[in-house]
Copies of this chain bind each other. A is one copy, B any other.
Amino acid sequence: MSTFVVVGGDAAGMSAASKAKRDDPDLDVVVFEKGEWVSYGACGLPYYIKGEIQTLEELVSVTPEQFREKRDIDLRTGHEVVDIDPDDRVVTARSDDGELRQSYDHLLIATGAKAIVPPIDGADIEGVYTLGSMTDGKELRDFVARSREESPLEQPDSGPACHFLESCEGAVGVVGGGYIGIEMAEALAANDFEVHLFQRGSQVLKTFSGATSERVAEHLREQDVALYLDSEVEAFDGTDSIEAVRTADERVEVEMALLGTGVRPRTELAEDAGIKLGPTGAIATDEYRETNRADVYAAGDCAEAEHVVTGEPAYVPLALTANRHGRAVGQTVAGTPAMGGGVAGTAAVKAFEIEAARTGLIDHEIARNAGFDPVTETIKAKSRAGYYPEGGTVRVTLTADRDSGRVLGGSLVSEYGEGAVHRSHALVGAVTERITVSELSNYDLAYAPPFNTTWDPILTAGKVLDSKL
């Protein structure tokens, strides 16, 4: 009987464990997770802090008991793997009961990522938070409740904007205008905090198109977020706890600050075992997610993967890739090799009352470095037929290669519910299948007045960009 050992019990790890056991019930599947939570939807944490979700348990898709009893997986929470020996095919795990050694035939490293704490003065004082784990989420929700002198939290109002209190007093700082920063700005504003958002560079959502980012920035301001662009945070002032956020130009008094400055892969365990990292600093794998050591795989936020546009390694630590690659490794280990597909750098975010998505290559410098001659156009179109009630506006940015006409990437933004994110599905296919802008603009996409103009904004963007090539 063969043994499959998984290090890390979140998206990639539990997807792999579940798929392997389902495909090959004879396999022994052992998962080591250092914490107590497994298979949780960290993406839901901002909505828990906002108050739209009442308990952390709601974020858990499958409980440890279900993995153990229904899926027959030997899941050991509270076990931290401290050593991997790929020569002897043994891992060492540490728990409150001491150390144990577990041999394996196949190993998956799914150690995830950790929130980056940038080298800012005062980043370690009380009141400066990150949001990388369920524990972080709990602390932030407690902060919200405590700060509002409401404990336990009242039930929020129904509807998308829920408020624990009517009045607005406390100011909070959010450092970083990525997904976490923006989702947390929404969560905190909904709880009547005065939100100050600091972005080091000139655009929020820096991987999205400039046009998308500008619309998001404009909307953040419409929602009374104080937005500071080109504003690197230099220090958090405070003695016992945080008192202010400082940049070169500003000093903003706050009662809390959240660091939403990205994540980095947890690679120490792999590195110590002689497993190679790639150019992105994450664990390098082939298309089957296998590392440089035979039968040792890596998937999820600790690993890089090939980009569907460039074919080169990319580090895009997001939930779907973790699920997809974890599942593929599980299938491979169970006997049917599966690759799980590359990454397109696709991402989506809701920001208050708007939504945005992006995929592929948009940035011209990145595109040029990959050997393309990028051309970009942005169009603004109605989200429904012009005569149909209650529509909004969709802005579509498309980037293509001038010579080949190939679609390299795209970025969309619209009012929430007007389809920027779901429409982006068409662009994921376009970049993955390497079609031209002309081909895209001739797609027979669905049309009816309640959903789009006769030419969906995606098609209009294709036509306009095609005319510029």
| A386 close to chain B: CB less than 8 A | yes
Residues of chain B lying within 8 A (CB to CB) of residue A446: 346-348, 357, 359, 421-422, 424-425, 428
User: Is A1 in contact with chain B by the CB < 8 A criterion?
Assistant: no
A53-61, A142-150, A266-274 - interface stretch: A53-61
Q: Are B429 and A430 in contact (CB under 8 A)?
A: yes
Assess whether A443 is in contact with B416, with CB atoms less than 8 Å apart: no
Interface presence of A456 (CB below 8 A): yes
A422 and B457 alpha carbons, distance in the complex (Å) = 11
Q: Is A385 an interface residue (CB 8 A)?
A: yes
> In the assembly, what is the distance between CA of A424 and CA of B447, in Å?
10
Q: Closest approach, in angstroms, between the C-beta of A14 and any C-beta of chain B?
A: 12
Q: Looking at the complex, which of A101-109, A228-236, A249-257, A336-344 is the stretch in contact with chain B?
A: A336-344
Contacts A11-B454, A323-B454, A387-B58 hold; do A47 and B449 have CB atoms under 8 A apart?
A: yes
Instruction: Pick out which of these stretches binds chain B: A84-92, A190-198, A361-369, A432-440.
Output: A432-440
A47 to B448, CA, bound (A): 11
Judging by beta carbons under 8 Å apart, are B448 and A350 in contact? yes
Listed by A's residue number, 13 A-B pairs whose Cβ atoms lie within 8 Å are: A47-B449, A52-B388, A179-B448, A324-B444, A346-B447, A359-B446, A419-B419, A426-B428, A428-B443, A428-B446, A429-B435, A429-B443, A432-B444
* A349, closest chain B residue (CB): B448
CB-based contact B442/A47 at 8 Å: no
A335 within 8 A of B: no
Q: Residue on B with the closest CB to A345?
A: B444
- A112 vs B344: C-alpha distance when bound (angstroms): 41
Supposing A349-B448, A425-B423, A433-B435 touch, asked if A454 and B47 sit within 8 A by C-beta, the answer is no
Contacts of A385 in B (CB 8 A): 41, 43-44
Cβ B388 vs Cβ A451 within 8 A = no
Partner of A449, one of B41, B344, B448: B41
A175 → chain B closest CB, angstroms: 21
- Any chain B CB within 8 A of the CB of A37? no
Binding-face segment, A131-139, A165-173, A216-224, A314-322: A314-322
Distance between Cα atoms of A323 and B447 in the complex (Å): 12
**Which B residues lie within 8 Å of A432 (CB)?**
439, 443-444
Task: State whether B308 touches A444 (Cβ < 8 A).
Answer: yes
- For residue A379, give the distance in angstroms from its CB to the closest CB of chain B: 16
- A 18-57 to B, binary, CB cutoff 8 A, 1 in contact else 0: 0000000000000000000000010110010000110000
Residues of A at the B interface (CB closer than 8 Å) are 11, 41, 43-44, 47, 52-53, 58-59, 61, 160, 179, 308, 318-321, 323-324, 328, 339-350, 355, 357, 359, 385-390, 416-417, 419, 421-426, 428-430, 432-433, 435, 439, 442-451, 454-456, 458-459
Query: A211 CB to closest chain B CB, in angstroms?
Result: 17
Q: Across the interface, do B419 and A445 meet the contact criterion of CB distance under 8 Å?
A: no
Residues on the B chain within 8 Å of A435, using CB? 429, 433
Interface centre among A43, A346, A416, A435 (most CB of B within 10 A): A43
Smallest Cβ distance from A78 to chain B, in angstroms? 25
Q: Is the CB of A422 within 8 A of B451?
A: yes
The distance in angstroms between the C-alpha atoms of A417 and B392, with both chains bound, is 13
Q: Determine the distance from Cα of A286 to Cα of B428 in the docked complex, in whole angstroms.
A: 30
B444 touches A346 (CB 8 A): yes
Q: Which residue of B lies closest to A424 (CB)?
A: B446
Pairwise interchain contact B426-A341, C-beta atoms closer than 8 A: no
Tell me how far the C-beta of A344 lies from the nearest C-beta in chain B, rounded to whole angstroms.
4
- Which of chain B's residues have a CB closer than 8 A to the CB of A339? 442
CA distance A242 to B359 in the complex (A): 56
Q: Which chain B residues border A58 with CB–CB below 8 Å?
A: 386-387
**Do B455 and A320 touch (CB < 8 A)?**
yes
**Given A425-B446, A433-B433, A445-B425, A451 and B350 touching (CB < 8 A)?**
yes
CB nearest neighbor in B for A327: B463
| Distance between Cα atoms of A451 and B355 in the complex (Å) | 9
Contact in complex: B421, A429 (CB < 8 Å):
no
In the complex the two chains form, is A443's CB within 8 Å of B387's CB?
no
CB distance from A59 to the nearest CB of B (A): 6
Q: A320-B459, A432-B444 are in contact. List 9 more A-B contacts (CB 8 A).
A: A52-B388, A58-B387, A345-B444, A348-B451, A350-B448, A419-B422, A422-B422, A426-B426, A432-B439
